[in-house]
Amino acid sequence: MRNISILSGEFKGRKLKTLNSGRIRPTSSRVRKSIFDMLMDMDSKRVLDLFAGSGSLGFEALSLGAQSVTFVDNDNRSLSLLHRNKEKFHTDRIAIFKSDGYQYLEKVKGQFDVIFIDPPYRNPDPNRLKENAMNRLTSGGVLIIETSKRLGWRDKEAKIKEYGDTQISIFWREH
């Protein structure tokens, strides 16, 4: 078990528990900083952190003023980490669900302003995730999918950033 820190906002410096194992791979500080620099304003946003792991993206969004953050993961170790990390925030703006990420997107009724998707690097289906997530975005919403660069997935509609082996694909839903 190790700690990572919230980078900015109301909870800057607060420590999150995480594991660095093959199954739980927290988004690096460098990548998180870059993502949130691009997103700019998180005030009053409804955020979905899918395949949440330790929740570093969702908790960062919460620190920057997100109205609510929904964490979804089906791994029991991830869920345990999410619940432990949630205790550090003392807020009712957090919801945690145990579900397969693909199934959650297909069944959820609500819409989100920002969706973070960080599926396991082994055998992801980014096209299916993108298609279903775009249907859950509000007008003007943003979708961020983190994959391994080695996957070779490059959607022509995405703004793509690369950091080592990590590829971030960013999509905006038109107004």
Digit-coded pLDDT (tens) for 110-127: 899 999 999 887 778 899
Contact 67, 44 (CB under 8 A): yes
CATH classification of the domain holding 44? 3.40.50.150
Task: Report residue 132: phi and psi, to 5°.
Answer: -70, -35
Task: Report residue 172: phi and psi, to 5°.
Answer: -120, 135
Per-residue pLDDT of the chain (175 residues; tens, 9 = 90+): 788 899 999 999 999 988 766 556 667 788 888 888 888 789 999 999 999 998 999 999 999 999 999 999 999 999 999 999 999 888 999 999 999 999 999 998 889 999 999 988 777 889 999 999 999 999 999 999 999 888 888 999 999 999 988 999 999 998 6
Largest Cα–Cα separation, the chain: 42
Digit-coded pLDDT (tens) for 80-90: 999 999 998 88
Residue numbers of the domain that contains 92: 2-172
Number of domains in the chain: 1
